[in-house]
Amino acid sequence: MTSAEAISPQLRIFGAAVLLVFVGWVVRLVRTERLTLRDSLLWLLSTLVALVTIAFPELLFETAHLLGVQVPSNALFVLTILYLLLNLFSVTVGVSFVSARTRRLTQECALLRAEIELLRGDRSSAAHPSEA
């Protein structure tokens, strides 16, 4: 096993700083209502996990050991990729959800517009020529 020195203090400080800036950015977006709290939760949660890992690298080495990964940095890469995939997938789910709603709203607009045209009598005689 590689010792805890595998991650240099400079790197840890740099990583922590980047993550903290990111958290600050997300919080700012939420507070200025450009990002909903609900959508930010997964990012905040997974970033928190990353911060804990940086604060206590032993956890990373434990995880690497448990996974049977020889080089702890590889375990870091695996976890990073999982972190990204998780967040990416949640976006995909969100897009599906939104597109189902868009579809329904588009239909509703079309129905209402046709309803208005009928009410206005724009084509009331033409729409039902069986009566004309």
Partner 1 sequence: MVCLVGPASIRAPKEDTVRALVIVPAYNEARSLPTLLPAIREAMPAADICVVDDGSDDETAAIAAAHGAVVLRNAVNLGIGGAVQAGYLWARDHGYEVAVQVDGDGQHDPRSVPLLLAPIAEGGADLVIGSRFLTAGGFRSTALRRAGIRYLSWFIAMRCGARVSDPTSGLRAAGRRAIELFARAYPSDYPEPESIPIAIRAGLRVTEQATEMAPRRHGRSSIGASQTLYYLMKVSLALILLPQHPNRRDAR
Nearest 10 degrees: CA dihedral of 16, 19, 24, 27? -140
- Is residue 103 close enough to count as binding partner 1 by CB under 8 A? yes
Residue 63 near residue 80 (C-beta atoms within 8 A): no
The answer to whether 98 contacts partner 1 (rule: CB under 8 A) is no
Q: Is 100 in the site for partner 1 (CB under 8 A)?
A: yes
Listed ranges 16-24, 25-33, 84-92, 97-105: which one lies at the site for partner 1 (CB under 8 A): 97-105
Binding segment for partner 1 among 27-35, 36-44, 69-77, 118-126 (CB under 8 A)?
118-126
Q: Is 46 exposed, middle or buried (0-12, 13-18, 19+ CB in 10 A)?
A: middle
CA angle, residues 93, 88, 101, in degrees to nearest 5: 25
The DSSP code for 36 is -
Count residues contacting partner 1 (CB under 8 A)?
A: 24
CB of 119 to partner 1, least distance (A): 6
Site residues, partner 1 (CB under 8 A) = 100, 102-104, 106-107, 109-111, 113-115, 117-119, 122-124, 126-131
